[in-house]
Chain A
């Protein structure tokens, strides 16, 4: 607090990078760098990858050590790890992003509705949320995915979609639904505070419908905590998809995301080879990067907004 430095000599204004009018700390700069690097690699994977997706190079070598031809070595069937990593980024990050967006859409709409509508809607939605939360997410998603996947062929034949697309949709749907629950709880709590304010009462007195109240009065004022939660939730989704893939239930071959890469290369660790560490490192790096950015966002918004400051 200002107690100690009330009399301290004043520091000159430090120049630095600013975003939304706030100084970006060093750790946040590192976080942004990691996130943008990942996005860049994800978007330009086809141009950057030395080999095609799932392609086994002509100079077939299993478990090749890192070399000029294969920077990160090759895996059990001779695929180039670097190429797989770049293509895997598209699946890992793309699916997580899609899942998080779905979770947020469901969570925010239901959460705000629970806060605004009558008591019974709130009770029904909240108890249902408690029910879902009482089960461990990983186990719960494993069960649902196993059940749905058992009928996979029937669905695929009936709708004409590809197996891989169906599997992707199942993962996105299930995790999106499960992660909508914590988002629901946050959105409800945030909206409860805003609904009590008089400008919302003024809107209701005017006769505005619930959609206006949600989109014009509540949403713009609840952005900061929701944005911070979005970053955090993205990490969780990303890790959950990786875990599912690691357990063999996520992305199926020939496609690989980072989680399944760790899974399929895991045996190499017993041979003293570094292959599984690259995908694991990529997962860790992106998670840390996103968390650094989220930490900064949280610190910015938890500070008093200080009208005059």
Chain B
């Protein structure tokens, strides 16, 4: 409660007042869906408002609208957006241009895609200040260095001389915050700024964002789908769904006493994360997949995977965790044969698999199937579900065309999709439905092991949850084993009975989930575990104080 008290003291006058905002899609075919439906919000000096919801909830659309901008094809059709007493909608082109970057600044999700790789960070960070004629180049650079210091970037004097590819993802995201802050805007809009980062990096970036906002007394809109992240930074939280406001209130109230059913489900999704779904005990029999002392590298000499040994039994779910670059996806590629191993052995049902994909028999290929992170690119957009799911049946089992249709319909029922979808193409499905189709395609081959590569990370939380439940049900029915690659430790606790923790290509911890996730921890496992945001407003302070305490 103490945070709210201090928050009240910090707050000043209203800087942004959005009333009954309405944004619609209009195409040449006529009016489309309503993206934002009569949403009102107020933002005071120094206040951070968290906008939370699933994709398609209209969070980003609202964020962009505060700058008087709407994406191509979308139109602001109603309401007022008052910035410091002036309606953004009635501003002239020049006034609006001045507002953007100077009055309101935007920090996007992917810093890597937002920076120009051909220019140094200085050139890009100072550009807006120079273009608006607010300061001279030396002033701008001095300001940039000051911001780099505040954001705890390494070697702040020389940081700006670097090019975007020379700094890490977390540093680049902070550099983007510096770019936004250089003109000292009244409002910062954070659009999922930590979503693309590893959990360990996310903590650092979150901490520096919060420090920046507090020290400058800037108002901010913080857009995210992760309730635990927004809990660390926001004073108030607004929950959105399908463009409508569901609930708005103090951060603590939303987290501890949500009034609406939908908010309760969002909060609950996070808190059930400790209950394990994996019920069936794995067979004590011989493992189906044995990976022994595998070493693999890409063209360079550095070993991406070094001396890794794991095994998976029937009905097992092995979670492979680690941050990006730890070699967890490479391990999957070695198992399926996309990347030939350079030494070690991969055995399936006791027989050694050839290192190269081309040398494996059709039956060996059939037994291991894969499900990908991005269902959008994992399905051929020009094929119907009948073709996508029917092909493995025809290819592996020579099923007759007449039977395929029945079997595909049955498969669709099995993964909870209506049979009428059989002639649809992936473009006509939602993200969660597409992922279900990917699962169906894998199941059509009647595999013994399915490798799931970050299958829920591109999906909304509640949708991802349904996918996990589906995978779990299928495991109970079919006894299929999973190798589950993920960076989301919450997921791991829920579905895996075994965990392999990877760091820089090596296995640092491996064993039963309860053993790994209970003390004594391996230091790296502990770091990973402590970096998962928890649904408490004081979590970030706690983690930070713990870490600084340790450093001393």
Contacts and interface: CB of A to CB of B under 8 A. Distances in A.
A23 B365 contact: no
B407 interface: no
Given A199-B378, A205-B370, A13 B25 contact: no
B146 to A, nearest CB: 32
Contacts of A7: 75-76, 89
Interface string B26-37: 111110110000
A216 B441 CA distance: 16
Interface in A207-223: 207-208, 216-217, 220-221
B84 interface: no
Interface in B206-253: none
A1 B72 contact: yes
B378 A207 contact: no
B131 interface: no
Interface stretch (A98-106, A166-174, A301-309): A301-309
A10 B391 contact: no
A6 B70 contact: yes
B377 interface: yes
B297 to A, nearest CB: 17
Contacts of B68: 3, 6
Contacts of B360: 207
| Chain B CB within 10 Å, residue with most, of A6, A8, A201, A308 | A6
Interface in B345-387: 357, 360, 362, 365, 369-370, 372, 374, 377-383
A307 B30 contact: no
A161 interface: no
B480 to A, nearest CB: 17
Given A14-B28, A307-B427, A205 B377 contact: no
A224 to B, nearest CB: 11
B391 A206 contact: yes
B399 to A, nearest CB: 14
A74 B379 CA distance: 61
B93 A207 contact: no
A23 B378 contact: no
Given A3-B69, A13-B30, A308-B33, A221 B392 contact: no
A199 B370 contact: no
A13 B29 contact: yes
A10 B75 contact: yes
Nearest to A306: B73
A8 B381 CA distance: 35
Given A14-B28, A206-B392, A198 B69 contact: no
B69 A6 contact: yes
Contact of B382 (A3, A13, A205, A221): A221
Nearest to A208: B395
Contact of B73 (A201, A221, A309): A309
Interface string B484-495: 000000000000
B382 A220 contact: yes
A2 interface: yes
Nearest to A16: B28
Given A201-B338, A205-B370, A308-B25, A2 B381 contact: no
A231 to B, nearest CB: 21
A19 interface: no
A147 interface: no
A157 B336 CA distance: 59
Contacts of B27: 309
Interface in B60-101: 68-77, 89, 93, 96
A10 to B, nearest CB: 6
A206 B367 CA distance: 10
Given A308-B33, A309-B25, A207 B395 contact: yes
A131 interface: no
| Chain A CB within 10 Å, residue with most, of B89, B338, B377 | B377
A158 interface: no
Contacts of B370: 202, 205
Contact of B74 (A2, A4, A201, A221): A2
A197 interface: yes
A123 to B, nearest CB: 15
A62 interface: no
Interface string A233-276: 00000000000000000000000000000000000000000000
Contacts of A4: 93
Nearest to B26: A10
B395 A199 contact: no
Contacts of B69: 2-3, 6
Contacts of B75: 2, 5-8, 10
A13 B30 CA distance: 6
A217 B74 CA distance: 33
B25 A205 contact: no
Interface string B9-44: 000000000000000011111101100000000000
Contact of B378 (A198, A216, A304, A307): A198
7 contacts: A2-B73, A6-B75, A10-B75, A198-B378, A199-B377, A306-B73, A309-B25
Nearest 9 CB-CB pairings of A with B:
A220-B382, A198-B378, A199-B380, A207-B365, A197-B377, A6-B70, A198-B372, A2-B72, A198-B377
Given A4-B93, A5-B75, A221-B380, 15 more contacts: A2-B69, A2-B72, A2-B74, A6-B68, A7-B75, A8-B75, A198-B374, A199-B380, A205-B338, A205-B369, A205-B370, A206-B365, A207-B365, A220-B382, A304-B72
Interface of A: 1-8, 10, 13-14, 23, 197-199, 201-202, 204-208, 216-217, 220-221, 304, 306-309
